[in-house]
Amino acid sequence: MSLGRNFMIDKIRNWALLAPALIPLVYLDIFFYPLVATKAFFFRIAISVAVLAGTYFLYKGGKVHVERFKSFWAWIPAALLAAAYITAFFGIDFYHSFWSVFDRSAGLLAMTYGTLYLYLLVLFVSKDFIWKFLKLTAGVASVVGAYAIVQWLGDVSSISIPLLLEADGRIGGTIGNAAFLAGYLGLTFFLTLIVAKKNSKADWYYAGALIQIIAIILTATRGTILALIAMLGIAFLYTAIKGSGKAQKIAIAGVFVGLATLGGFFAFRESLQNVPFEPVQRIANIGVEDATTSSRLFVWENTLSLALERPFTGYGAEHIDYVYNQFYNAGDIVEQWFDRSHNLYLDYLVQYGIFGLILFILFVAGLFRFALKTRKEDEYMGNMLLLLVGVYVLQSFFVFDTINTLIVLFPLFAFSLYKEGEGQAGNALMRGEAAVASALVLVGMYFAVLQPAYLNLQLGQSYLQHVVDAEKYAASYARGFNTNSFTDLEFGYQAYEMYTSRQQNVFSGEEKVLAYQTAYDALTANAKKYPYDARTFVYLGHVLEARPAGVAYSEEENLKVLEDAKRLSPGREQPYYMFANIYIAKGNASTGSTRAELYQKAIDTVKEYQSLVPDIAEAYLVLAELYRVTGDPVMSEKSFEEGISRYDGDAADARRIAGRLLAQNKISEARPYLETVYRERPTDYVAIFDLAKIRFIEGDLSGAVELVELVQLKQPNLLGTDPLFIQSLQAALQ
């Protein structure tokens, strides 16, 4: 009976260690961030079960492979984890470094569980387990790839496929982000080829590998695609030089075909930029003139510069955004908020310092070592592993790790330490360590899984109610936020989004006041708890600016919030505009010379920001409106023309330009700008309603009806703002 129980516990432990391979398929819509948070909870539960089963196994006399820790390489992950904890202690905020946020589910907590997973594999892994892991990973990746392809087909055909997540931009499959999906499949592709070579059902696995490659292409993720092309080129070149026989001839032909393709790409690059297939377009657009590319280069340069100011201590895990906010400006950067540099090596340097980066490089070197060692025994498998690690090294210059890539890399590193042997029975010290680990994971089940899951559900419930029932929204929100846990930062961000995006427009009276107070209280509390977080201060400034009429207001508090926002992110535009709005509001309530002085302060404030970003349209368009309000039509028109000359397709700028043109009754000129707003900001129903009117005036009856039906479905109260237009449209349809 005891042997049967031990066998069952052993199986439970092994299945718990295999379970992370299923993570890319795991998501539950009941959670907020279902494609991230659910995966993190699942992983922590699986590792906890493995620790508990492993402890029981030890106490029953089971043998573990402690001899594998004699290798220098076995201590690299532990050293990296220690470096992460030390730099977090000396960093910006250890608390946030440890917990991270729902959106990432990363930080020291995730790193600890990941390292624990790696060492459980080192202690318990067998050759049979390695093969099971490879087969399961290959199968899961093939399903993930197939899911993504179907998702892409649904997106391009505009067909809603039941039980399938709709793509938000580029396809992300069950992982949710195109770059993360491609990064994962870029690794599993080679594992699938390994399994195919050694499996009796090879055709199925080769088909799975093909599916994965197609999915990678459809994600249009340039980093992974280029990494795969580069490694393929290196493989062909190496075989052409070192190979022999038929393989060498094929490789030589491949090199020439590759060079011809590369030459054709550069020769026809401009034409390829207009090909109606996003993967080709995105690759053809690579260059400093591409907004995303130039933005990333700017981010990398400045991140490196600030990282070198703290080369040894770093800034601590999850504090890349602190660095980013110091050099952000809208003129050089596309993204508004960034918590990763999109370069894994820089991420390690800025968070964990130079020693953390060196340890990460040693971790990668350990993977290369495993591939080379395997190549001596099995050339094909070793070559596939070399290509896998090479793709990882190259794509890491453009993306960063998630749980989906780590569940591939950590097992491979653990397998690199594999040695044949029976292992040894646990001694008193080992059993004591296992007992401590079991106690910690049991406590962790509450703090790392149950409580965060409950709070996540409350956040999700508040989101579902946020424009339906203000009281239910506030109650759900309070149940989550008032626990004073690490989730409060995420709660604050979401309260801002819900209030400024929808609630301030949908609610009125007491409901609007309740929604405002909920957002204000959360952000005020977070500003005290996270005094380094520029995003919280900017959001709080926006909420104060959008307060309901009649709500008590402290101008001193508002100015202090905006000053802190400017201090934490000097090049960010919002504080300048909010300062200007304060002066304008006071000017509107004043007369004579006082009014003129306040308006001039507003203009000077915007000019101060304009001097930071002289090449973007936004500041000029804002100045144009200020000059118009202050009665200076000449300067207003001049600023407006300068803004138009700098217009680059930005939807917010298009909105401003269209508004002014409509005010001047320049209907035809306004239409292309409103079309841009409709395309880029599909929830701006006021602009969409204006576009519907323009389409009607210009004789585009079906286009007008399309937009009116959309507004009627999403924000029907807008239709009542222009009953004459609705009547005219109805008459035209009869």
Is 1 a residue whose pLDDT tops 50? no
Q: Number of folded domains in the chain?
A: 3
Task: In whole angstroms, give the CA distance from residue 132 to residue 428.
Answer: 32
Separation in Å, CA 205 to CA 134, 198, 201, 228: 11, 10, 7, 19
Residues 686 and 730 reside in one and the same domain: yes
Residues 577 and 553 reside in one and the same domain: no
Is 708 a residue whose pLDDT tops 50? yes
Q: Does residue 114 lie in a domain region? A: no
What confidence score (pLDDT) does residue 5 get? 57
Q: Does residue 165 lie in a domain region? A: no
Residues 587 and 532 reside in one and the same domain: no
83-93 b/e with 16+ CB inside 10 Å = b? bbbbbbeebbb
Which residues form the domain of 599? 572-648
Higher pLDDT, 155 or 536: 536
Helix pair 573-588, 617-629: axis angle to 10 deg: 0
CATH number at 595 reads: 1.25.40.10
pLDDT in tens, 382-408: 999 999 999 999 999 998 899 999 999
What confidence score (pLDDT) does residue 691 get? 92
The burial of 445, by beta-carbon neighbours within 10 Å (0-12 exposed, 13-18 middle, 19 or more buried), is given as middle
Q: Does residue 302 lie in a domain region? A: no
Encoding tokens for residue 9? 């516990």
Mean of all residue pLDDT scores within the chain: 91
Residues 557 and 473 reside in one and the same domain: yes
CB 408 within 8 A of CB 54: no
CB 208 within 8 A of CB 202: no
pLDDT in tens, 279-322: 888 888 887 777 788 889 999 999 999 999 999 999 999 999 99
Residues 484 and 548 reside in one and the same domain: yes
Of the listed ranges 160-169, 370-379, 568-577, the least confidently predicted one is: 160-169
* Average pLDDT value for residue range 499-520: 93
pLDDT in tens, 446-483: 999 999 999 999 999 999 999 999 999 999 999 999 99
Is 119 a residue whose pLDDT tops 60? yes
pLDDT in tens, 192-246: 999 999 887 889 999 999 999 999 999 999 999 999 999 999 999 999 998 888 8
Residues 626 and 598 reside in one and the same domain: yes
Predicted TM-score of the model (pTM)? 0.90
Bridge partners, 424 (sequence order): 64
Separation in Å, CA 480 to CA 34, 458, 476, 528, 603: 17, 5, 7, 18, 42
pLDDT in tens, 572-607: 999 999 999 899 888 888 888 888 899 899 999 999
Task: In whole angstroms, give the CA distance from residue 701 to residue 725.
Answer: 12
Separation in Å, CA 31 to CA 39, 110, 172, 394, 722: 11, 18, 18, 33, 40
Encoding tokens for residue 641? 């023309």
Contacts of 329 (CB under 8 A, 6+ apart): 571, 572, 612, 613
Higher pLDDT, 548 or 10: 548
Is 495 a residue whose pLDDT tops 50? yes
User: For the chain, how many residues are written?
Assistant: 734
CATH number at 710 reads: 1.25.40
Q: Is residue 291 left, alpha or beta, with left meaning phi > 0 and alpha meaning psi from -120 to 50?
A: alpha
Residues 496 and 470 reside in one and the same domain: yes
* Average pLDDT value for residue range 180-203: 93
Looking at 648, 681, 704, the residue that finishes a domain is 648
Q: Does residue 591 lie in a domain region? A: yes
What confidence score (pLDDT) does residue 480 get? 94
Residues 642 and 712 reside in one and the same domain: no
Q: Does residue 325 lie in a domain region? A: no
Of the listed ranges 161-165, 288-292, 685-689, the least confidently predicted one is: 288-292
Residues 490 and 511 reside in one and the same domain: yes
Q: Does residue 308 lie in a domain region? A: no
SS3 assignment for 453-520: HHHHHHHHHHHHHCCCCHHHHHHHHHHHHCCCCCCHHHHHHHHHHHHHHHHHHHCCHHHHHHHHHHHH
Q: Does residue 592 lie in a domain region? A: yes
What confidence score (pLDDT) does residue 4 get? 54
pLDDT in tens, 611-661: 988 888 999 999 998 898 888 899 999 999 999 999 988 888 999 999 999
Residues 622 and 582 reside in one and the same domain: yes
* Average pLDDT value for residue range 688-701: 91
Q: Does residue 548 lie in a domain region? A: yes
Residues 678 and 697 reside in one and the same domain: yes
Residues 726 and 670 reside in one and the same domain: yes
